[in-house]
């Protein structure tokens, strides 16, 4: 996989705590009716002043509350309850709810847009925002390999490299495990919404 660019957004795989198992629990958070942006499975979302979630489009300055895992709404065309991996832009539904993995200690997998060396382990890194795929409902966001540094304001921290048959440190598109940089996840940020 890491020899080919196949970004898949943030894919939760566990948590930082060595105690207990990762449950993957999500919180239901309201999406504003007619919110005019598509949100894909694996995109980062943030709480906004209206008390709803929106796609976090930040790159080096993202402050997400969590990872979008899908949503529920009553389809305005069919009046049917609908579960979807993506929020279709502009959907008018007063009952729209996002499923958000909002654990501040979540660990997730992402692909870099380039090669990352062993020396980047423990560095912070920015996000690359890319349009997702509507066919699969998946994010295509990646991390920006050129930004890996000790910069304390970058939103994500590199925890580990994905090592396996299709992924190695230094591959053309290195797969990594990440968590939020301290203070960048909204629950850990001293400034409220």
pLDDT digits (tens, 9 = 90+) for 88-132: 999 999 999 999 999 999 999 999 999 999 999 999 999 999 999
Q: Is the pLDDT of residue 68 over 60?
A: yes
Query: Per the domain annotation, does 9 fall within a domain?
Result: no
Residues 109 and 54 occupy one common structural domain: no
User: Distance between CA atoms of 158 and 123, rounded to whole angstroms?
Assistant: 6
pLDDT above 70 covers a percentage of the chain that reads: 97
163 vs 11, which has greater pLDDT?
Answer: 11
Residues in the chain: 193
Sign for the pseudo-dihedral over CA of 188, 100, 76, 95: negative
- DSSP of 166-184: TB-TT-TT-EEEEEEPTTT
Residue 26's CB is within 10 A of a number of other CB atoms, namely: 18
Are 144 and 79 in contact, with CB atoms under 8 Å apart? no
Out of 86, 101, 116, a domain closes at 101
pLDDT band at 27 (very low <50, low <70, confident <90, very high): very high
Over residues 134-143, mean pLDDT: 96
Q: Per the domain annotation, does 89 fall within a domain?
A: yes
d(C-alpha 69, C-alpha 54), whole Å = 13
pLDDT band at 18 (very low <50, low <70, confident <90, very high): low
113 and 50 in one domain?
no
Q: pLDDT-based confidence at 193, cuts 50/70/90?
A: confident
**Pair (149, 79) in one structural domain:** no
How many domains does the chain contain in total?
2
Shared domain for 109 and 70, answered yes or no, is: no
The answer on 97 and 70 residing in a single domain is yes
What was the pLDDT predicted at 21? Answer: 66
Decide if 5 is inside a domain.
no
Q: Across the strands, what pairs with 67?
A: 44, 101
Give domain status of residue 17, yes or no.
Answer: no
Last residue of a domain, one of 80, 101, 122: 101
Of 74, 101, 128, which closes a domain?
Answer: 101
The predicted-structure confidence for 46-61, as pLDDT tens digits, reads as follows 999 999 999 999 999 9
Q: What is the mean pLDDT of residues 62-68?
A: 96
Task: Output the pLDDT for position 167.
Answer: 79
How is 105-130 classified by DSSP, letter by letter? TEEEEEEBSS---GGGTT-EEEEE--
Question: pLDDT tier at 29 (50, 70, 90 boundaries)?
Answer: very high
Structural domain that includes position 66: 24-101
Same domain, 74 and 113: no
Q: What is residue 186's three-state secondary structure?
A: helix
- Quote the tokens at residue 14: 């566990």
Task: Share the mean pLDDT of the chain.
Answer: 93
The mean pLDDT value for 55-76 works out to: 96
Judge if 31 and 96 occupy the same domain: yes
Whether residues 58 and 130 share a domain: the answer is: no
pLDDT of residue 140 exceeding 80: yes
- The pLDDT confidence band at residue 19, using thresholds 50, 70 and 90, is low
Within this chain, do residues 88 and 161 fall inside the same structural domain, yes or no?
Answer: no
Which residue, among 8, 17, 190, 18, has the nearest Cα to 103 in the 3D structure?
17
Quick one: tokens of 53? Answer: 């979630």
pLDDT band at 1 (very low <50, low <70, confident <90, very high): very low
């Amino acid at each position: 996989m890491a020899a080919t660019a196949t970004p898949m957004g943030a894919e939760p795989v566990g948590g930082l705590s060595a105690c207990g198992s990762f449950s993957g629990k999500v919180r239901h958070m309201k999406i504003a009716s007619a919110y005019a942006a598509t949100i894909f499975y694996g995109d980062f979302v943030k709480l906004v002043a209206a008390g709803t979630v929106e796609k976090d489009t930040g790159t080096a300055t993202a402050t997400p509350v969590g990872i979008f895992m899908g949503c529920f709404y009553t389809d305005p065309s069919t009046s049917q309850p609908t579960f979807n991996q993506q929020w279709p832009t502009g959907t008018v539904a007063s009952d729209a709810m996002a499923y958000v993995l909002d654990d501040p200690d979540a660990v997730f997998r992402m692909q870099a847009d380039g090669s990352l060396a062993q020396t980047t382990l423990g560095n912070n890194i920015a996000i690359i925002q890319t349009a997702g795929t509507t066919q699969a409902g998946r994010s295509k966001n990646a991390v920006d390999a050129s930004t890996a540094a000790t910069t304390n304001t970058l939103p994500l921290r590199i925890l580990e490299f994905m090592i396996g048959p299709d992924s190695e440190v230094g591959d053309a598109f290195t797969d990594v495990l990440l968590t939020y940089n301290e203070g960048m996840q909204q629950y850990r940020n001293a400034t409220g919404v």
